[in-house]
Structure 1
Amino acid sequence: MVELIMDGKQEPKIEKLLAQYPVFTRIDQGKLRCNLTNHELPYKFETVQNYLTTKKFLWEWELHKILEENGQYFEDIGNNLFGCKITMKTISRDPKDLARHLSGKNFQKALAKKEQEAKNAEKEVEDEPMDINFEIKPSVTDEQNSDNSDVSDKESEGANSKKRTLTTKSAKKKVKRKRVA
């Protein structure tokens, strides 16, 4: 990177300004790049100060602050929309809309419910005794079953019909497919 020699008065001012807004990176040729808007501007106090008052930067800065604090609740789903992981609603990519959603009744209720579920899950895990002496039994594969079966086709159909009453719908579909084949 190229270091600029600035007069002694401007250097501390611009450094203070950049410390307040840590979204700028220094690039070649004495320029700064805003990480929020990808805007490049010269490394001058007046220019940076003017840029910090633009509508686009202020919009992105507010959005950045909200997402920095509450980003774990939102997912970017494109087309200027965010999806809330707590309430399962879509919210506009507008800082005012996000702030309104975060302070809303539905979000607060859903967040409290989610936190309570997490506490209950932790409590259940703590209360559950650990069984250290467990045994893993090898599973029987379909090939071993087909080699060891001495049952006729009619008997297997009868067994399949009995099994069918005890299985789920997806298992019923599998049994029907096997019978047709």
Structure 2
Amino acid sequence: MDEPPSDVLAFLRQHPSLRLLPNTRKVRCSLTGHELPCRLPELQEYTRGKKYQRLSGSFSNFDYAAFEPHIVPSTKNRHQLFCKLTLRHINKSPEHVLRHTQGRRYQRALHQYEECQKQGVEYVPACLL
């Protein structure tokens, strides 16, 4: 396979979610799973699209691992997160995660969890009592 043009390679460096597939002339988007031909006009059109803009803007710079011990990916709903303290599903968007973690229910559950850790008692969410 020959190397893609330099303008395409420069465009791919600007968009880290777009990956050049080996041994093919295609590019795959890691956010959506779309495969595109390795041509600059198609790549530019795709990155100007609404779905790519929405996914790249919200997920690229937000770190969900900061909430990791208590908020984990849901096993039942792939597109959501699950809070182990409140036993609630949360949409996988930065606004929803921040709103949940700053809310009264989560803060109260986090305080109870920390108290249980200090006393050496296993934490049981309030809704299971």
Band of TM-score, shorter chain: 0.5 to 0.7
Listed one character per residue, the Cα deviations across residues 43-74 of structure 1 (whole Å, up to 9, x for unaligned) are 34443343233222234332463535435513
Distance change (3 Å), C-alpha of 1:67 and 1:55: farther
Give the RMSD, CA atoms, in angstroms: 3.3
TM-score (norm 2): 0.60
Which residue number in structure 1 is paired with residue 67 of structure 2? 70
Counterpart amino acid of residue 103 in structure 2: G
Larger of the two Rg values belongs to structure? 1
- More contact order relative to length (CA 8 Å, sep ≥ 6): 2
Q: Could you say which structure has the higher helix fraction?
A: 1
Unaligned runs of 5+ in 1: 125-181
Distance change (3 Å), C-alpha of 1:108 and 1:31: farther
| Preserved contact between residue 80 and residue 90 of structure 2 (Cα < 8 Å) | yes
- Deviation, 1:12, is 5.7
Mapped partners of 1:83, 1:109: distance in 2? 17
Detail structure 1 runs of 4+ shifted over 6 Å in the superposition: none
Which residue number in structure 1 is paired with residue 36 of structure 2? 41
TM-score (norm 1): 0.47
| Preserved contact between residue 12 and residue 19 of structure 2 (Cα < 8 Å) | no
